[in-house]
Amino acid sequence: MNIQENVSLANYTTFKVGGPARYFCNVETIEELRSARDFANSKNCPIFVLGAGSNVIASTAGFDGLVIHIDFNSIEVDGRVIRAGSGSQMYDLVDTAVTAGLVGLEWAGGLPGTFGGAIRGNAGAFKGEIKDTIQFVTAFSTATGEIKIFDNPACEFEYRESYFKRHPVWVILNAELLLSSGNTEQLRSIADEHIEFRKTRHPLEYPNAGSMFKNVPIQTIPTATMELFKDFVKIDPFPVVPTGKIIQDAGLKGYQVGGAQVSEKHCNYIVNRGNASGEDIHQLVLEIKKQVHDKFGITLETEPEFLGFDT
């Protein structure tokens, strides 16, 4: 295992921002993961685990510890079961399921990031969520070195949340999905439709981290405000108001801090117009949250993780 020093995190995040990691390593086996943990312990430094970097915004200061880049990317099909490493790309996993004629992942057509990241954040779209098909998750504790198998209830999935997101010492190694039998041609059509939807509706021409904020459950919205948005409620997978609509109606479409901008194509995306820093993005997020709360009484929650920031 090769431990590198002062590695730019901008090269490992989809936002293309972030300063240096004091230490950095790529791990492909559990043995390498254990060795990385031992190294961090020997240096008495914190650990941050990174997948595809599609849900991370890193500060210019970087990370004064060890960043472990997970590269467990095996995918196996056994009847209606798929077993995959946490570093597997979601587009590979969706393609594998569709090719095998298995129903349950076609909603994720075009979804960026890794399988482990999708589990950690209970990714979802088009009325589907990763929790719907997860059977077991195998994870490693960077605190104790223990390996544990979590069944679906033990994962404590919630809306864009899981046990692993709330307890980041647990590093997802692999997981098992139980899917249903279906028609490959029909599944391919659905997945392709979702891919095309993302290409058309989302600002993929600029570096970004996907949806910046969770959609807003209707029960958390003040009654008077709800009157303004009652015609825009959608199921995701329960009744919510799309955050993009809320941000747009707050007058923030195209709003910019430094090189970071609220997308003019989809207002729940912040994009890097070419020279954004993590600080620009962080400041823009704080400004959006303030203006939305001041105007509508709605408290927005972010989806991505901010690395190297106090809040």
Distance CA 96, CA 98 (A): 6
303 belongs to the catalytic site: yes
Instruction: State both tokens at 65.
Output: 């510890």
- Candidates 86, 88, 162, 211; catalytic one: 211
Is residue 237 reached through a cis peptide bond, with omega within 30 degrees of 0 on the bond before it? yes
Count of CB atoms situated within 10 Å of the CB of 179: 21
- Candidates 106, 129, 279, 303; catalytic one: 303
Q: CB within 8 A of 61, min separation 6: which ones?
A: 19, 308
For the packed helices 90-99 and 184-201, what is the interaxial angle rounded to 10 degrees?
150
160 belongs to the catalytic site: yes
Instruction: State both tokens at 206.
Output: 């600029």
CA 85 to chain centre: 16
- Candidates 86, 129, 160, 277; catalytic one: 160
161 belongs to the catalytic site: no
Report the catalytic residues: 160, 211, 303
